[in-house]
């Protein structure tokens, strides 16, 4: 993963395919399980936990929603 681009490599023939997303988060390894059962990033990894993902996306959603709301007046 680099920025908004994710590369997936086929393990059979090693062909790589690149995809671009609005958001692309690393969430399949590089984590520890906390005492409360939540997952958190290990130091030095690219892992993004669910709380961070929700905060990042919901902040953007609320920002754009507020712009639309303000434009009604």
Domain holding 24, by residue range, is 5-70
pTM (2 d.p.)? 0.47
Q: What is the pLDDT of residues 2-57, one digit of tens each?
A: 778 888 899 999 999 999 887 777 777 888 888 988 888 888 888 888 788 888 88
Count: domains in the chain: 1
Phi, psi angles (nearest 5°) of residue 28: -115, -10
User: For residue 13, what pLDDT is reported?
Assistant: 96
DSSP assignment of 16-55, as one string?
Answer: EEEEE-S---B-SSSEEE-TTS-EEEPTT--B--HHHHHH
């Amino acid at each position: 993963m680099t920025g908004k681009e994710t590369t997936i490599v086929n393990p059979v023939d090693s062909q790589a395919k690149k995809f671009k997303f609005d958001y692309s988060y690393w969430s399949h390894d590089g984590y520890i399980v906390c005492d409360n059962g939540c997952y958190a990033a290990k130091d030095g990894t690219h892992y993004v936990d669910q709380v961070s993902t929700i905060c990042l996306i919901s902040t953007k959603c609320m920002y754009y929603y507020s712009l639309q709301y303000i434009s009604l007046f």
